[in-house]
């Protein structure tokens, strides 16, 4: 009998895992709480570091899931997980021989950093809002005009114990560099300032892109975290930071402040972890069996992970990991059923 695998989450990780499992002759099904497949990537415009359209990566995945006739439960939420299947909010049980948790992450809620005035000031936006604006083809201020001076703040909701987010979200640095370049291309008149604590360019081509942002696009990098933002009478944003490389406080007024929001663990992780007997890492993401050979396995036999459910990851890392997850699931099923 064909072995069934249920995958929780229909984002990039879930879809890629499903496709790889199908290619191995197994029968995957996807449970997605949204009414559409695609996950977070749906909201993205272009991807670092190559400026590939997000659509170009997402569309083939979605189309292949459809053409492979992989069963999808859309608009359905999982309330409990065990190694032999999951329970949906509707009360329906989906039985399986293995389960893959590919639930991804939640974007950090920028309202929680009140000192930056997100939600209070019209011209303070998040990196996700900016991505949406870029997708629409035009970046504008609240009054419809083009920004002339833009500040991008790194590490909003990352490396910040005050909001319970000790971890580094990994992808914001390179996103900040990518968005700075995009802004310089879309609004050539605008000066862009990136405020950072560290610049962590971990991936291939990232450091090169950082250098390109500096030299070719004249993006200004200021090492120092913005301490507060305040709105001026004409809806501009006044910011304060320390320019730590000169050791002096720095003040300036910008038209637009972009907050690079980090990745938070999903709130529902706790319920899933509790029902399945899975441990969570101190940062709230799922804890993998180990960091090396068991990175896609959980502490429970038959339950696996793919993508950002275990830690912040880039799309490239997520896709690569999903293939690994499929191979681990396949090996587990073969071993268990002596095939």
Q: Are residues 27 and 3 in contact, defined by beta-carbon separation less than 8 angstroms? A: yes
Q: Is 162 in the site for another protein (CB under 8 A)?
A: no
Closest distance of CB 253 from another protein, Å: 5
**Binding another protein by CB under 8 A: which of 166, 228, 246, 331?**
246
- Which of 73/210 has CB closer to another protein? 210
Q: Is 250 in the site for another protein (CB under 8 A)?
A: yes
Distance from C-alpha of 324 to C-alpha of 310, rounded to nearest angstrom: 14
Count other C-beta atoms under 10 Å from residue 202's C-beta.
13
The closest alpha carbon to 186, from 231, 147, 155, 224, belongs to: 147
Task: Select from 1-9, 19-27, 153-161, 243-251 the region that touches another protein (CB under 8 A).
Answer: 243-251
**Binding another protein by CB under 8 A: which of 248, 267, 335, 338?**
248
Residues contacting another protein: total by CB under 8 A: 17
Place of tokens 């920004």: 147
Distance from C-alpha of 135 to C-alpha of 101, rounded to nearest angstrom: 30
Q: Provide the strand spans (E) within the chain.
A: 4-8, 27-32, 46-47, 52-53, 71-74, 78-82, 85-88, 93-95, 98-101, 106-107, 124-126, 149-156, 191-196, 220-223, 228-231, 237-243, 248-254, 256-261, 263-264, 303-305
Give the H or E element holding residue 61: helix 54-67
Distance from C-alpha of 83 to C-alpha of 14, rounded to nearest angstrom: 17
- Which of 67/234 has CB closer to another protein? 234
Residues 187-216, mask of contacts with another protein (x by CB under 8 A) = ------------x-----------x--xx-
**Binding another protein by CB under 8 A: which of 60, 205, 249, 277?**
249
Task: Select from 19-27, 158-166, 237-245, 329-337 the region that touches another protein (CB under 8 A).
Answer: 237-245
Task: Select from 34-42, 114-122, 177-185, 244-252 the region that touches another protein (CB under 8 A).
Answer: 244-252
Q: Is 335 in the site for another protein (CB under 8 A)?
A: no
Closest distance of CB 238 from another protein, Å: 9
**Binding another protein by CB under 8 A: which of 114, 202, 253, 270?**
253
**Binding another protein by CB under 8 A: which of 233, 247, 282, 292?**
247
Q: Is 251 in the site for another protein (CB under 8 A)?
A: yes
Closest distance of CB 117 from another protein, Å: 18
Structure tokens at 328: 């681990």
* Strand 46-47 to 52-53 pairing: antiparallel
The closest alpha carbon to 30, from 12, 13, 11, 7, belongs to: 7
- Which of 137/247 has CB closer to another protein? 247
Contacts of 40 (CB under 8 A, 6+ apart): 11, 12, 104, 105, 107
Cα–Cα distance list, 23 to 5, 68, 157 (Å)? 13, 9, 39
- Which of 237/326 has CB closer to another protein? 237
**Binding another protein by CB under 8 A: which of 53, 90, 142, 218?**
218
Task: Select from 53-61, 251-259, 313-321, 330-338 the region that touches another protein (CB under 8 A).
Answer: 251-259
Closest distance of CB 220 from another protein, Å: 8
Q: Find the binding residues for another protein in span 292-311 (CB under 8 A).
A: none
**Binding another protein by CB under 8 A: which of 112, 135, 223, 287?**
223
Q: Are residues 183 and 155 in contact, defined by beta-carbon separation less than 8 angstroms? A: no
Residue 170 — left, alpha, or beta (φ > 0 → left; ψ -120 to 50 → alpha)?
A: left
Which parts of this chain interact with another protein (CB under 8 A)?
Answer: 199, 211, 214-215, 218, 223, 240, 243, 245-253
């Amino acid at each position: 009998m064909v072995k069934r695998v249920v995958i929780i989450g229909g984002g990039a990780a879930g879809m890629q895992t499903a496709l790889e499992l199908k290619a191995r002759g197994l029968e995957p099904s996807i449970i997605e709480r949204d009414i559409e497949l695609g996950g977070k990537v749906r909201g993205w415009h272009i991807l670092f570091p190559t400026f590939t359209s997000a659509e170009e990566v997402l569309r083939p995945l979605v189309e292949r899931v459809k053409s492979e006739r992989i069963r999808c439960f859309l608009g359905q939420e999982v309330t409990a997980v065990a190694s032999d299947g999951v329970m949906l909010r509707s009360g329906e049980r989906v039985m399986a021989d293995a389960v893959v948790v590919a639930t991804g992450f939640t974007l950090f809620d920028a309202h929680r950093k009140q000192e930056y005035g997100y939600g209070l000031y019209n011209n303070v936006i998040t990196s996700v809002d900016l991505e949406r604006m870029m997708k629409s083809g035009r970046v504008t201020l609240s009054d419809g005009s083009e920004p002339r001076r833009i500040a991008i703040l790194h590490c909003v909701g990352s490396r910040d114990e005050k909001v319970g987010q000790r971890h580094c979200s990994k992808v914001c640095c390179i996103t900040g560099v990518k968005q700075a370049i995009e802004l310089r291309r879309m609004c050539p008149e605008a000066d862009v300032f990136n405020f950072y604590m560290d610049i962590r360019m971990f991936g291939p081509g990232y450091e090169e892109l950082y250098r390109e942002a500096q030299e070719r696009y004249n993006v200004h990098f200021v090492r120092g975290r913005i301490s507060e933002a305040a709105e001026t009478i004409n809806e501009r944003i006044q910011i304060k930071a320390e320019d730590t490389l000169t050791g002096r406080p720095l003040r300036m007024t910008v038209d637009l402040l972009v907050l690079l929001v980090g990745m938070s663990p999903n709130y529902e992780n706790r319920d899933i972890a509790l029902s399945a007997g899975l441990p969570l890492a101190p940062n709230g993401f799922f804890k993998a069996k180990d960091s090396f050979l068991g990175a896609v396995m959980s502490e429970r036999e038959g339950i696996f992970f793919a993508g950002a459910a275990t830690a912040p990851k880039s799309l490239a890392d997520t896709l690569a990991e999903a293939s690994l997850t499929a191979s681990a699931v396949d090996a587990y099923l073969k071993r268990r059923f002596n095939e």
